[in-house]
Structure 1
Amino acid sequence: MLIVNKPLAIIGLILVFVAGFCPILQVKIIFEWINWGLYKTDVRLFLITYSFIAITALCYFIRQLKAFRLLTRVMFVWVLLMAAAVYFKSTHYFGMKLADNLLGKAIHFQWGWIVLVSGALLLLFSVKKQRLEV
């Protein structure tokens, strides 16, 4: 039987939702630092992430716990893949070592990743399997 820690799941859903609007990357463009959220970083990542969030929230609210458990695991793996993809895209964008080194020095990860990973971890640990004792 699956048991959901409801406050943990709600807080995780809220954190993952809010993290998409937090600054994810900080880019230096001509003496000025610009913060990019998930939407400005890559629209496809934004749309896929929010579709995962919407389906996960739907499964939580209609009490489809097996699907919710699966989607929390998928969401956690997706966040890790997304962080790796953004890192490799920012450090290997042009394919030329000199240009990639300059671009890699101009782009920095921001605190939005911490919010995103913590929300995904809360979702991951909000569901546990427990045996029924008769």
Structure 2
Amino acid sequence: MLVVNKPMALIGLFLLLIAAFCPILQVQIIFKLVSWTLYKTDVRLFLITYALVALMGLSFFVRQLRAFKILTRVMFGWVILMAVAVYFKSTHYFNFKIADNLLGKTIHFEWGWIILLIGSVLLLFSVKKPTLAS
């Protein structure tokens, strides 16, 4: 039997939903700084992320706690994998060292990744097995 800390789970789901509007990358184009959200960074990452969030929300509200626990672990792994993939894509885009160094210097991570990570960690620790007190 699993127990869910409902406030923690709801805050985690809310943070993951809000992360769509947070800046993920900061790109310097000529003399102008542009902030990109997850949707502007890569549409596939956006759709996969919010499909996972929708499935987690559905499993939370219909009380399928085993599925919710599995999806929280998948979401945490997905956020880590997504951050690593965006980093490697931005630093190894052209497979040409000079161009990749220039591109890597113009792209910087923004605070939206912290919101994604906090939301996924809250969801990860919101589900647990109850301890039997004797």
Relative to the length of structure 1, the TM-score reads: 0.97
Corresponding residue for 1:97? 97
Query: Is 2:119 aligned against 1:126?
Result: no
Amino acid at match of 1:104: G
The answer on whether the counterparts of 1:20 and 1:116 sit within 8 Å (CA) in structure 2 is no
Structure 2 unaligned blocks of 5 or more: none
SS at match of 1:20: helix
Query: How far is 1:18 from its partner?
Result: 0.6
SS at match of 2:35: strand
Amino acid at match of 1:113: W
Deviations 1:65-113 (A, max 9, x none): 0000000000000000000000000000000000000000000000000
Deviations 1:36-88 (A, max 9, x none): 00000000000000000000000000000000000000000000000000000
Count of aligned positions: 134
* Counterparts of residues 57-72 of structure 1 (less than 5 Å): 57-72=57-72
Amino acid at match of 2:66: K
Structure 1 unaligned blocks of 5 or more: none
Amino acid at match of 1:80: I
Corresponding residue for 1:43? 43
| Structure 1 residue runs of 4 or more that deviate by more than 4 Å after TM superposition | 131-134
Query: Is 2:12 aligned against 1:12?
Result: yes
Residues in 1 aligned to 2:21 and 2:78: alpha-carbon distance in whole angstroms: 17
Amino acid at match of 2:116: L
* Counterparts of residues 21-36 of structure 1 (less than 5 Å): 21-36=21-36
RMSD: 1.1
Relative to the length of structure 2, the TM-score reads: 0.97
Residues in 1 aligned to 2:118 and 2:4: alpha-carbon distance in whole angstroms: 17
What percent identity do the matched residue pairs reach? 68
